[in-house]
Amino acid sequence: MAFENNKPSIVNPAVNGMRDVSARRAATISNMIDEAKKRGLDDTFAREAIAKYGADNGKELYDSMKDPSDFKEFASSFGVDHNKDIYEMETVEKTDEKLSIDFHYCPYVTEWSRQGKTAEEISKLCEITMEGDHAFAKQFDNLEFKLDGTIADGLPVCRLRFKKK
């Protein structure tokens, strides 16, 4: 799997710079996991650390909202910051009860490919990294989160789905 669909279409110095930071984060994650494996450790530490990072980000958004229990406010607040361009996020459905966002580009997959990781390794690294997204969503009692496929698994987009409980 060459991840041939994972090509950025938004290209400018600001977005490229932010993607570079994301790529460095991806490299750090994979390098830490590789070094831990050499020492006989599994990836639990990475999953837990990334989940903590995601929970912290979720709490930050939660605390910034006027009414964190309002799904419509969540749907209007999520995916509208600098990450929108980094990941080329497209809102494919936004209703009073659903928010569906597709990510058309992943700088993590690009970096892991540059590092020579196999498709299987990239898929696992993505699974580990997505612990942050799952923990982010858990900060909101009023929504369910589903990761409905990823670029790392060979799909053309990552599909994030949020649903009001």
Q: Is 107 within a domain?
A: yes
Q: pLDDT, tens digit, for every residue of 110-119?
A: 999 999 999 9
Q: Is 76 within a domain?
A: yes
> What residues make up the domain containing 38?
13-164
Q: pLDDT, tens digit, for every residue of 131-158?
A: 999 999 999 999 999 999 999 999 999 9
- Please answer whether residues 8 and 18 qualify as being in contact, where contact means their C-beta atoms are separated by less than 8 angstroms: no
How many domains does the chain divide into? 1
Q: Is 97 within a domain?
A: yes
Q: Say which CATH number the domain at 30 has.
A: 3.30.1380
Q: Is 3 within a domain?
A: no
Q: Is 5 within a domain?
A: no
**Which portions of the chain are predicted below pLDDT 70?**
1
